[in-house]
Homo-oligomer: A and B are copies of this chain.
Amino acid sequence: MKKCIGIDLGGTTVKLGLFCEDGTLVEKWEIPTRTEENGKYILPDIADSIKEKLETAGISGEEVLGAGIGVPGPMLPDGYVETCVNLGWRDINPEKELSELLGFPVYGGNDANVAALGEFWQGGGSGYENVVAVTLGTGVGSGIILNGKILTGSNGMGGELGHLPVNRDEAELCNCGGRGCVEMYASATGLVRLAKRHLAVSEELSVLRVSGNFTAKDVLDAAKAGDELAEIVVDEAMNYLAVGLTMLTYTVDPEVYVIGGGVSKAGEYLLDKLRVHYDRYIKLSAKRAKICLATLGNDAGLYGAAKLVLNHQ
């Protein structure tokens, strides 16, 4: 059976996976991401690591259909990356350069979109054709899969759920320069920010007040344990996320939302709060997208990168 390679390129680590074309992950490994000198070593390091792995496994280049790579930034349809802040990259075409180093085709995409393709293929969106995968991590990312393909968008802004403006009354600015973006509430950072804001303006008892220095997980755990202030915070975050999902339903109208990332570890407790608000906003039809949990965790990007290759066969 032919093989393909999945590459999930992050700011500190590169995750790599060797796949069979039926989707079986044969082996996965990691190498560090060397961002020095504008990230000039990153692609050669990846190429060397893949060649070494193929040699050890006795796999020839002819047996490899290609490699897929998810990069942490916007990529245009022709593979061009204008800038990738976390890697130091500027004006680079990683598809083309890595393909020249490896001697077989390379297909790339934005990492959130590629992870969405993974969840669509082998994860929480498996069995559907139209999937939006949402990652609630440090920020809020999302990827839109329509008819089994990534919606990239004309200017690399497709599926930017995290920066949909959902609260024009917000006093603070988002990192993007916008106001009231989904990411300011429904991310790990957002949950902590919201909790601190509520603590500052109320005198309510809360376990969060005791520690002072808490994480998003602490907020979610406190809410689950019945801490009223924490519950209000989580509910508010899920309300804003629901507005964002409403926007996605009234634009791309997927069959399912697959929710992943660190914050989603709060599980069905979190989704139940999200569903209450989502159902409240969707007025046009009783039929609407389901909301479920992602299942591939940190491997979603690897699977999606491999699927990028298979989508081109």
Give me the interface of A with B, judged by CB distance under 8 Å.
74, 130, 144, 146, 151-161, 163-165, 167-169, 174, 176-178, 243, 246-255, 281-285, 287-289
Contact = CB atoms under 8 A, between A and B. Distances in A.
Contact of A252 (B151, B164, B174, B282): B151
Given A164-B250, A165-B246, A255-B154, A146 B144 contact: no
B158 A251 contact: yes
Nearest to A174: B283
Contacts of A248: 251
Contact of A165 (B153, B243, B251): B243
Contacts of A283: 163, 174, 176-178
Nearest to A286: B155
Identical copies in the complex: 2
Given A252-B252, A283-B163, A154 B130 contact: yes
A311 to B, nearest CB: 14
Nearest to A158: B253
A249 B154 CA distance: 9
Nearest to A167: B168
Nearest to A255: B154
Contacts of A174: 283
Contacts of A168: 167, 243
User: Which residue among A153, A159, A163, A178 has the maximum number of chain B CB atoms within 10 Å of its CB?
Assistant: A153
Given A155-B287, A285-B155, A251 B144 contact: yes
12 contacts: A153-B254, A154-B289, A155-B287, A155-B288, A157-B249, A158-B251, A163-B284, A164-B250, A165-B246, A169-B169, A177-B283, A252-B252
A278 B169 CA distance: 18
A21 to B, nearest CB: 26
A157 B255 contact: no
A146 B150 CA distance: 12
A153 B253 contact: yes
A251 B251 contact: yes
B251 A178 contact: no
